[in-house]
Amino acid sequence: MTSREQDTVRKARAGDERAFEELVTAYEKKIYHISLRYTGNEHDAMDVTQEVFLRVFRFLPQFQEESRFSTWLYRIAVNASLDFLRRRSPGGELSLDDTDDEGLTLEVSDPRYQPERELERAELRQAVADGIAALPPQMREIVILRDISGLSYDEIGAVLGIEQGTVKSRLSRARSRLAAFLSETGNYSRKSASKKQLEVARNE
């Protein structure tokens, strides 16, 4: 947390509404995006986002700065999203098979990616969004936290309360599952990467 943000958080905690609004402005888009990926639709994402900031407002006096504000906020976002999913599907969705014992699927082939063909790329992106929505919740959330929110493994571990090793393996399994989804829905072709492409990857 930057010292400026720390200052803002302290002011907000002391009841400064303008400071609180600054925090809302800084994070609302990210929280909305997280909620959108969790819930799968804009209307619910809006509701969950509002709920997240209400919880932040309510519990801010209890925030002791033992973690970064953003970590604390993301944890609230994750919990609010999960609460929402539980309400929407009591005893259903969250109990789906998404344990960490599940093996990796290595049926990952190339995405049909050619920069000059924007339409296909848009289709692929939509397929990725659909694939994330189709992931079991535990896998979905780890992809969201890593690739949507950009959290490090450390931060993900802190938000979800899991070990680094679990972050690593769960993320691999989640992406493997996502890739399998894309293959099944025909968004990957079977073209092999050339050594030249590998060189490009290596140099990036």
Partner 1 sequence: MNNCQDYFVYMNQYLDGELPPQETEELLRHLEICEGCRRRFEALRRMVEETRALSADPPADLHAAIMAGVRRERAPRRGLIRLGGRTGRRALVRIGGLAACLVLLAALFDVASPWLGRTGGDDTASDEAAAPEAALFDAAPGEGAEASRSVQSYAQPAPDGAANGILAPESGDMTGDAATDGSAPGYDHAPLAVDGLEEAGPSAFYVVAVGTGDLSAVFGGDVPVEERTDRICVQIENTENARDEAEQALIEAGFTVCDNVEGLPEIDENAQTGLVIVYEDK
Residues that bind partner 1 (CB under 8 A): 15, 17, 20-21, 24-25, 28-29, 32-33, 36-37, 42, 45-46, 49-50, 53-54, 57-58, 61, 103-104, 106, 108-111, 113, 121, 124-125, 128-129, 132, 143, 146-148, 150, 152-153, 168-169, 171-172, 175-176, 178-179, 182, 188, 192-193, 195, 197-198, 201-202
144 with 34: CB under 8 angstroms?
yes
Q: How far apart are CA 6 and CA 67, in angstroms?
A: 11
Instruction: Please tell me the distance from the alpha carbon of residue 4 to that of residue 19, in angstroms, as a whole number.
Output: 11
CB of 99 to partner 1, least distance (A): 17
Q: Given the structure tokens 């659909």, which residue do they identify?
A: 130
CB 3, min distance to partner 1, A = 24
Q: Are 49 and 28 in contact (CB under 8 A)?
A: yes
Shortest distance (Å) from residue 157 CB to partner 1:
11
Instruction: State the minimum distance, in angstroms, from the CB of residue 77 to partner 1.
Output: 13
Rounded to whole angstroms, the Cα distance separating 71 from 119 reads 36
Give 94 or 148: the residue with its C-beta nearer to partner 1. Answer: 148
Question: Quick one: 115 or 161, whose CB is closer to partner 1?
Answer: 115
C-alpha to C-alpha distances, 21 to 7, 35, 190, nearest whole angstrom: 13, 19, 49
Q: How far is the CB of 199 from partner 1 (least distance, A)?
A: 10
Q: Nearer Cβ to partner 1, position 3 or 173?
A: 173
| Pairwise CA distance, residues 80 & 86, whole Å | 10
Q: If DSSP codes are grouped into helix, strand and coil, which group holds residue 116? A: coil
Return the number of the residue (67 or 169) whose C-beta is nearest partner 1.
169
